[in-house]
Structure 1
């Protein structure tokens, strides 16, 4: 009688051989899949050097792929697109500004983008002629559109919570560099600006403002007028002293930049104020109205605000630009002396045929 175990050996051998081939095939397929996954997810795909990427709102996978390719962020857009499908990444869910580091792989990039790990935007503004000019600067590097910001800066009720009005809200914006996220909202931006405003107006500055009898808003309004008169820091403190002397004596400020600001609402390119202009009806006509205007005539710099707070005490009541176009001024105590100085400047304007 034959041994059963001996009879089944060929069958067992064939089964093991078949199983070995299957395992070899499965291992081969597994290795191939690992290679493909490595190529898609782990192979460095970002160009050097580091680059900033802005993903706009509503951006799709295909739009992001094209943006990454066109702006030179990655080496292979198709592989990146496959990675977005594998990792179920939807760029429309996480707009913003991101920093693509050199030699990042797709896994690292998508993990950062999907997690919303944004790189801060440096928002810088130094000056602005009015709210429209300021808004243009604010929206340029971030994702806010003009409409909501314009609406907020003209909303009396919302601005009152910060202690400002639509007319003087420009004084809340202290020129500096701010770090914010691209996805910041208009309300969040105003809150951040207000916090910076409160830090700027610390106890020392508040005490100086109180000493000269002005609120922080009034100081900034006066600083905007001084800034329109001169760029020289030392003269700014002297001119601030003239205006403060006039305010104390309840005299009209008689500021040409204020009148030009009012006139520019109707016409552009004004370089010279005429006698007829002093009769216009405007809260910014300081020839007819006493005191400070309801708002600034521009965005004053920190230096100009400090020039007002640290003004040079003197007894001058008048000043006039010098005829040498140096940007400097003559100062006078009497109106008679002022008229002589002003005549020199008018004569220089006439010589250059600057009539308006």
Structure 2
């Protein structure tokens, strides 16, 4: 009888011990283990990161790193680290955190516009995804890829349509480039290709002309009218004589794209560059900036009118005065020159 009581006590103690241990494990797995006050925090895990790297990033965010480490080992996360951007919520348990790091790579929105060169674009994109600017620029300038897809380095910027795109943060440079090629093909659908053909331009030429329109006016509602001026000149076989192309030519010749040029001088019109549309009749070899969709569609749906000239309207800033004849234009131009001289803008 005495032995039975001892065995019973031992059994009860075992059950209590097991229950206590189970309760401890339950708390380790499911109790909140975050140490931040914000609603959410982001953690970026680079490609090739180890579990040690992740622990270092998590250390200031956790109440108890050892308990997290225990569950991470039990769940096999220590040998299966995934790269990406992960969002942790205040009050998450170790189980929640590990599940998030294993399977909930949160995408980022990537935006870009108004980039003048591939170098600028690569720098802008590198601020938003894991790939660095050098690797992005390398694949953007890759001659084999460009040739295969009917691009040259001078017009490769055309392939990147400004918009807002969703990517995983750990997207590689090659993956980014391929996605942009897919978006370019999607943008240049049958309808837009048909419109380009109807106005006698290739998609590449549309992008170049759209970049000039983009630089000429920031007013979206004026862009089809400006595009109409240039289409009239093209159809007449005239030189485009677009000041923004001269500005780009100056920057390109001097290899200084940080230069701010507010006024084009007569001597600038003689600069020998394929981008100088005062000197050469053809379109520049590539876009002088990254045209946005409104500028591209402004060219494809340009306004049909009889204007051949325009100059900045000093009475309605941001817009332009349009003229059908050179004499009308010269009168408008004199008004603009008087104003710009009054502002003492020499360059």
Q: What TM-score do you get using the length of structure 1 for normalisation?
A: 0.87
Alignment of 1:171-320 (within 5 A): 171-265=158-252, 266=254, 267=256, 268-320=259-311
Q: Is the 8 A contact 2:307 2:322 kept in 1?
A: yes
Distance 2:43 2:55 in 1: 12
Does the aligned pair in 1 maintain the 2:46–2:170 contact within 8 Å? no
Distance 1:229 1:81, change over 3 A: same
For structure 2, the residue ranges without an aligned partner over 5 or more in a row are none
Counterpart pick for 2:24 among 15, 36, 60: 36
Q: Do the aligned partners of residues 154 and 92 (structure 1) sit closer, same or farther apart at CA in structure 2, a change above 3 Å counting?
A: farther
Tell whether the 8 Å contact from 1:61 to 1:81 is kept in structure 2 after alignment.
no
Name the residue aligned to 1:139: 126
Contact (CA 8 Å) 2:50, 2:81: kept in 1 or not?
no
* Structure 1: distance between partners of 2:248 and 2:304: 27
In structure 1, runs of 5+ residues without a counterpart are: 1-9
How far does residue 312 in structure 1 lie from its aligned partner after superposition?
A: 0.7
User: In the aligned structure 2, how far is the partner of 1:91 from the partner of 1:67?
Assistant: 17
Q: CA deviation at 1:76?
A: 4.3
Superposed displacement of residue 75, structure 1: 4.8
Over the aligned positions, Cα root-mean-square deviation in angstroms equals 2.3
Deviation digits for residues 247-272 of structure 1 (CA, Å, limit 9, x no counterpart): 12221111111111122242512111
| TM-score between both structures, scaled by the size of structure 2 | 0.90
**Which of structures 1 and 2 has the bigger CA Rg?**
1
CA–CA distance in structure 2, aligned partners of residues 123 and 269 of structure 1: 27
Match of 1:339, SS state, is helix
Say which is worse superposed, 301-310 or 317-326, in terms of deviation: 317-326
- Tell me how far 1:29 sits from its aligned partner: 2.9
User: Is residue 88–residue 100 contact of structure 2 (8 Å, CA) maintained in 1?
Assistant: no
How many angstroms apart in 1 are the aligned matches of 2:129 and 2:77?
Answer: 23
Are the equivalent residues in 1 in contact too, given 2:211–2:287 (CA < 8 A)? Answer: yes
Distance 2:286 2:78 in 1: 46
Q: Distance in 2 between matches of 1:275 and 1:52?
A: 54
Partner of 1:20: 8
Structure 1 residue 173: deviation in Å? Answer: 1.3
Cα distance in 1 for partners of 2:249, 2:274 equals 8
Q: How far apart, in 2, do the equivalents of 1:92 and 1:57 lie? A: 12
Q: CA separation in 2, counterparts of 1:63 and 1:31?
A: 35
Structure-2 separation of matches of 1:128 and 1:174: 11
Structure 1 residue 19: Cα displacement:
3.0
Residue matched to 1:155: 142
Query: How many residue pairs end up in the alignment?
Result: 341
Does the CA-based 8 Å contact 1:91-1:114 persist in structure 2? no
